[in-house]
Chain A
């Protein structure tokens, strides 16, 4: 059995560490590229949302590299993602691919089913070694997110333009060569140190922007046209509204302190949206309000074309923006987004924020 999985930003680092530790053979799909998108748009239904199409592309690229079992997470959330697993299974079947799809629904919707599936994949390893591997993989996720926070802080401040990204791309190259969580954690620590000590321009006083939106779009750089890097190169300190660590803590952990904090964060959305309406709309609204409290200069919502929950959030954000005098902008991404128009919007928004900031200080 050779496992593969869909890409979502840097998730692959944790997944690889997990299955390395469990001694399961794994194919990490090649980074999302034009080819992935091409495959996905050709083979998936036209009306499907973008992540589904890219997932399909990932699977086929991995199958070509020898994968025969696909794992992905399920969801009982009221958005189309809940059907991804079953729909993708049908699409691959129609295309004649003879692969297994294992859909991991969150443990709180059936703990035994979750564990059974994991044990099946991992060749029936013991429960204790499973728990150990999961904990280690979670640690990797937390560390990688911390590394990214350092990168986001460093980009607008680096003295020599591009230094941070050069190190980051070297990290992404090296991380595929290490094996298991221990080596991965060591590598992350090395790069955290390396990036931390990059020389900063003391005069830098970057504009701060919070990114909000649906998790896949925010996390996968190919889909959001690498918005973090683009904003960073425009001299912006980027803050993420949702991270993989958040997602795991929400869906897989029993961390009660986190759950209370999350509840409080979501309560901030109350005046505008008081409940989950699917996808990450609630989180998007809560994070927008939260970013204002954290003193961000502005908020950018990244909206994957046709995503219903985010469309609802999009129509709420202007009200928040008016109430709190917080500049906000929505950019829609889809398979055909030309970079020129995207760049123009980002650049103009950053200009707007810098001018506003200049007036205040």
Chain B
């Protein structure tokens, strides 16, 4: 088959499903940023349909990579060539666009992470542990409470003259602190700026604890759209912070790049093709009664046929996408150098 080879990267996160199309030179041709809305399968299918429509003439999908917390789910639906964790995917994408970057700050919907890059590879990383105080969902919630559209949230912060101090360690404390300051009569701008500062402080003290943050510093993930947070980071680090053009889909781009590298080794893609995505996908869960663990097993069915299954501790139910008997595809997680 002649034509252009394109690579698809899919990042199924807690808040958004991102799909990108890149070419062999890793130029971005298409990007989709869709809210997950608690229905990843449906949103993913709709997104893939949209990508299919947008596919340029004489082109074909030569490789697919998935990442994000829903990477296994996405793999079950599309049969990916690479299923990779977010850290490696983000690191890969940044190293391509900004080869001399040494620090990645990433704040997404449900988690935040810091990735240190040295000599062109990921050298260290950390993720937030249990608290959501420093993530996009919390900002979303506060914007909603203040009646400010999240898109304008950051710009408002920039207008603040005397930011107030908000406790940033815990989402519950932060919220009650904000309410307290608001009842004292502080302006909305000052409170929002205070919140941005608190979130950055919390991030640097928790996720970034003990990490050597060296330039160039790249800030990405959904929250990078918020200019108030970008400003707060620059003030706290006393250095410029780069927000890449495609900051919101860097994970997906990384997955696409990894897919290209993998398929140029293996020669062919496992992608099932857009036509086979038209079917009716459904997820089904049941509790395994084999032992007292009572594991929740998830099955992905397409038109009633089993496509993938996972979730048990012992592995007896595991069926990976595209396999007949195989083990979970994480078992094949060979590094892509």
Binding site for B on A (CB under 8 A): 30-31, 33-36, 161-162, 165, 169, 226, 233-235, 318, 327, 332, 340-341, 343-345, 347-352, 354-356, 358-359
Residues of A within 8 A of B151 (CB): none
The answer to whether the Cβ of B53 comes within 8 Å of any Cβ in the partner chain is: no
Residues of B within 8 A of A340 (CB): 69
| Contacts A327-B123, A327-B124, A332-B129 given; does A358 touch B337 at CB 8 Å | yes
| Contacts A162-B315, A165-B315, A351-B88 given; does A344 touch B69 at CB 8 Å | yes
Residues of A within 8 A of B331 (CB): 161-162, 233-234
Tell me the complex Cα distance, A233–B87, Å: 19
The answer to whether the Cβ of B111 comes within 8 Å of any Cβ in the partner chain is: yes
Residues of A within 8 A of B293 (CB): 31, 33-34
Could you list some 14 contacts between A and B, CB below 8 A? A30-B292, A31-B291, A31-B293, A33-B294, A34-B292, A35-B294, A161-B327, A161-B332, A162-B327, A234-B331, A341-B69, A347-B330, A354-B337, A358-B337
| Contacts A35-B294, A233-B330, A344-B87 given; does A355 touch B335 at CB 8 Å | yes
Tell me the complex Cα distance, A347–B330, Å: 8
Tell me how far the C-beta of B146 lies from the nearest C-beta in chain A, rounded to whole angstroms. Answer: 30
Residues of A within 8 A of B111 (CB): 341
Within 8 A of A (CB), among B286-337: 291-294, 313-315, 326-328, 330-335, 337
User: Looking at chain B's contact residues, is the secondary structure mostly helix, strand, loop, or mixed?
Assistant: loop
Which residue of B119, B292, B314, B333 is within 8 Å of A359 (Cβ)?
Answer: B119
Q: Which residue of A lies closest to B294 (CB)?
A: A34
Most buried by B among A35, A36, A162, A350: A162
The answer to whether the Cβ of B98 comes within 8 Å of any Cβ in the partner chain is: no
The answer to whether the Cβ of B283 comes within 8 Å of any Cβ in the partner chain is: no
Tell me how far the C-beta of B201 lies from the nearest C-beta in chain A, rounded to whole angstroms. Answer: 19
Contact B87 A169 (CB under 8 A): no
Residues of B within 8 A of A36 (CB): 292
Contact with A along B106-124 (1 / 0, CB 8 A): 0000010000000101111
Contact B85 A355 (CB under 8 A): no
Tell me the complex Cα distance, A34–B129, Å: 22
Contact B315 A351 (CB under 8 A): no
Which residue of A233, A345, A358 is within 8 Å of B335 (Cβ)?
Answer: A358
Most buried by B among A235, A327, A348: A348
Tell me the complex Cα distance, A31–B121, Å: 41
Q: Which residue of B lies closest to A347 (CB)?
A: B85
Which residue of B88, B130, B291, B327 is within 8 Å of A33 (Cβ)?
Answer: B291
Q: Which residue of A lies closest to B69 (CB)?
A: A340
Residues of B within 8 A of A359 (CB): 119, 121
Residues of B within 8 A of A352 (CB): 87, 121-125
Residues of A within 8 A of B330 (CB): 233-234, 343, 347
Residues of B within 8 A of A235 (CB): 333-334
Contact A351 B294 (CB under 8 A): no
> Which 9 A-B residue pairs are closest in the complex by CB-CB distance?
A354-B335, A348-B87, A33-B292, A347-B85, A355-B121, A233-B331, A344-B85, A33-B293, A351-B88
Q: Which residue of A lies closest to B326 (CB)?
A: A161
Contact with A along B229-263 (1 / 0, CB 8 A): 00000000000000000000000000000000000
Contact B85 A226 (CB under 8 A): no
The answer to whether the Cβ of B147 comes within 8 Å of any Cβ in the partner chain is: no
Residues of B within 8 A of A327 (CB): 123-124
Residues of A within 8 A of B314 (CB): 169
Tell me the complex Cα distance, A226–B85, Å: 19
Tell me the complex Cα distance, A320–B294, Å: 41
Tell me how far the C-beta of B26 lies from the nearest C-beta in chain A, rounded to whole angstroms. Answer: 19
Q: Which residue of B lies closest to A328 (CB)?
A: B124
Tell me how far the C-beta of B90 lies from the nearest C-beta in chain A, rounded to whole angstroms. Answer: 10
The answer to whether the Cβ of B86 comes within 8 Å of any Cβ in the partner chain is: yes
Residues of B within 8 A of A348 (CB): 85-88, 122, 125
Q: Which residue of B lies closest to A317 (CB)?
A: B210
Q: Which residue of B lies closest to A160 (CB)?
A: B327
Residues of A within 8 A of B123 (CB): 327, 352, 356
The answer to whether the Cβ of B127 comes within 8 Å of any Cβ in the partner chain is: yes
Tell me how far the C-beta of B41 lies from the nearest C-beta in chain A, rounded to whole angstroms. Answer: 16
Tell me the complex Cα distance, A165–B125, Å: 30
| Contacts A30-B292, A233-B327 given; does A350 touch B122 at CB 8 Å | no
Most buried by B among A235, A327, A349, A351: A351
Tell me the complex Cα distance, A332–B128, Å: 11
Other than A33-B291, A348-B88, A351-B122, give 19 A-B pairs with Cβ distance below 8 A.
A31-B292, A33-B293, A35-B294, A161-B326, A162-B315, A162-B327, A165-B315, A169-B314, A234-B331, A340-B69, A344-B127, A347-B84, A347-B88, A348-B85, A351-B88, A352-B122, A355-B121, A356-B123, A358-B337
Tell me how far the C-beta of A317 lies from the nearest C-beta in chain B, rounded to whole angstroms. Answer: 10
Which residue of A34, A162, A332, A351 is within 8 Å of B85 (Cβ)?
Answer: A351
Tell me the complex Cα distance, A322–B259, Å: 33
Contact A350 B335 (CB under 8 A): yes
Tell me how far the C-beta of B261 lies from the nearest C-beta in chain A, rounded to whole angstroms. Answer: 12
Q: Which residue of A lies closest to B318 (CB)?
A: A162
Tell me how far the C-beta of B290 lies from the nearest C-beta in chain A, rounded to whole angstroms. Answer: 11
Tell me the complex Cα distance, A226–B326, Å: 20
Tell me the complex Cα distance, A36–B337, Å: 42
Tell me the complex Cα distance, A30–B111, Å: 36
Tell me how far the C-beta of A168 lies from the nearest C-beta in chain B, rounded to whole angstroms. Answer: 11
Tell me the complex Cα distance, A95–B50, Å: 60
Residues of A within 8 A of B121 (CB): 352, 355-356, 359
Q: Which residue of A lies closest to B292 (CB)?
A: A33
Tell me how far the C-beta of A165 lies from the nearest C-beta in chain B, rounded to whole angstroms. Answer: 7
Residues of B within 8 A of A349 (CB): 125
Q: Which residue of B lies closest to A354 (CB)?
A: B335
| Contacts A233-B327, A332-B129, A344-B85 given; does A355 touch B337 at CB 8 Å | yes
Contact B210 A318 (CB under 8 A): yes
Contact B327 A341 (CB under 8 A): no
Residues of A within 8 A of B326 (CB): 161
Tell me the complex Cα distance, A358–B336, Å: 10
Residues of B within 8 A of A344 (CB): 69, 85-87, 127
Residues of A within 8 A of B86 (CB): 344, 348
